Amino acid sequence: MPLPEDAPELSPALDPWEGLEPSGGQGSGGGRPSKPGPGLHLVATPIGNARDITLRALDVLAAADLIVCEDTRVTSRLMQIHGLHRPLMPYHDHNAAKVRPEILARLAQGAVIALVSDAGTPLVSDPGYRLVVDAVAAGIKVTTLPGASSVLAALTLAALPTDRFLFAGFLPPKSAARRETLGELAPVRATLVFLESAQRLADMLADAAAVLGPRPAAVARELTKLFEEVRRETLDSLAAHYAAAGPPKGEVVVVIGPPTEAAGASEAEIDAALQAELAHAGPSAAAAKVAAAFNLPRRQVYARAMALKAAAP
């Protein structure tokens, strides 16, 4: 992330890794990892590629007294891939209220418990939130082991502004409720990120186009997997594509650009101005000129300039 123009320069003597201890994992030179401390450990797991897991995550999963997971079949497969064997307990929307007291009781007795989701970072669109709230209220230590996240992965690939974004989870399944929610989000001056099922994708995009207009957007699927795909077009174009092509395979994340601030200026007009400037100037200079002309945030226009440049033949 670039520093503000008036930010003081950092001393070259500063070491960003100073004071950090070796992980203790294989090849780290730190020897055999010690057993993690008692408490609830929120462990991010891969969203597709099984190698996208951290050394800390493997250490905790290998030593936990219990691993709490959405689907034991999914987590068992991940454990098998990495040669790990620990007790598993299912924890999902249908049994959370029943098993949460048991988990909290074991935590109170000093157990080391890891909480994982089927894929990605726990608590993002899964029932782990209530468990964390109750654990904190009970004075139990809660720590996080950050890692893979489909939300951030899609955001970084979308070629849309990343300086401000809103994750809104899944939209309502019915069109009327979905359009109402999109209407509430329309004025938000940030990139919007949604999860969506493949079966509802075309309808969701059509509703988004109707409510938000032809904003630039991206549909990311099969992230980190062999057939990873990111389609970057306007909402109406994406809706037409998936209506014709049918539901795609894999998990889907939809990223939608923020609203434009230019009164009366359409996305097409801004793109045309950018393309004209890009014909004889670099993305930075082109973005600066178009942003000033349309009274738009320079970062937003620069991101669009880079997307247009990348898409150019």
* pLDDT tens sequence across 259-282: 876 445 678 878 888 888 888 889
Q: What are the backbone dihedrals phi and psi of residue 168, each rounded to the nearest 5 degrees, phi first?
A: -115, 10
Distances (CA, A) of 20 to 23, 185, 271, 310: 9, 41, 46, 38
The answer to whether residues 248 and 277 belong to one domain is no
Q: Measure CA 83 to chain center.
A: 27
CA distance 121 to 47: 9
Task: Tell me the pLDDT band of 23, cut-offs 50, 70 and 90.
Answer: very low
**Domain assignment of residue 305, yes or no:** yes
CA distance 213 to 207: 9
pLDDT for 31: 53
Task: List the structure tokens of 97.
Answer: 């209220």
More confident position, 313 or 248: 248
pLDDT at 39 over 90: yes
Task: Tell me the pLDDT band of 33, cut-offs 50, 70 and 90.
Answer: low
How much is the mean pLDDT over the chain? Answer: 87
The answer to whether residues 228 and 206 belong to one domain is yes
**Domain assignment of residue 27, yes or no:** no
The answer to whether residues 251 and 271 belong to one domain is no
The answer to whether residues 199 and 276 belong to one domain is no
Select from 145, 172, 198 the last residue of a domain: 145
**Domain assignment of residue 292, yes or no:** yes
The answer to whether residues 139 and 161 belong to one domain is no
pLDDT for 44: 97
pLDDT for 281: 87
Task: Tell me the pLDDT band of 32, cut-offs 50, 70 and 90.
Answer: low
If one counts the domains in the chain, the total is 3
**Domain assignment of residue 131, yes or no:** yes
**Domain assignment of residue 172, yes or no:** yes
| Mean pLDDT calculated for residue range 170-191 | 93
Per-residue b/e over 256-286, b at no fewer than 16 CB within 10 Å? bbbbbebeebebeebbebbeebbeeeebeeb
**Domain assignment of residue 34, yes or no:** no
The answer to whether residues 45 and 112 belong to one domain is yes
**Domain assignment of residue 9, yes or no:** no
Query: For the chain, what percent of residues have pLDDT higher than 70?
Result: 87
pLDDT at 2 over 80: no
| Mean pLDDT calculated for residue range 77-86 | 96
Query: Lowest mean pLDDT: which of 21-25, 149-153, 173-177, 257-261?
Result: 21-25
More confident position, 16 or 298: 298
CA distance 141 to 132: 10
The answer to whether residues 107 and 182 belong to one domain is no
The answer to whether residues 70 and 124 belong to one domain is yes
Domain containing 99 equals 39-145
CA distance 82 to 116: 15
The answer to whether residues 229 and 273 belong to one domain is no
For residue 42, give the H/E element and its range. strand 39-43
| Mean pLDDT calculated for residue range 220-247 | 96
Residue whose tokens read 């942003």: 291
The answer to whether residues 74 and 170 belong to one domain is no
DSSP β-bridge partners for residue 72 = none
Q: Are strands 191-196 and 142-145 parallel, antiparallel or unpaired?
A: unpaired
The answer to whether residues 107 and 192 belong to one domain is no
**Domain assignment of residue 1, yes or no:** no
The answer to whether residues 251 and 290 belong to one domain is no
Select from 97, 122, 145 the last residue of a domain: 145
Select from 101, 116, 145 the last residue of a domain: 145
DSSP β-bridge partners for residue 167 = 193
Q: At what angle do helices 267-278 and 283-294 cross, to 10 degrees?
A: 140
CA distance 4 to 10: 12
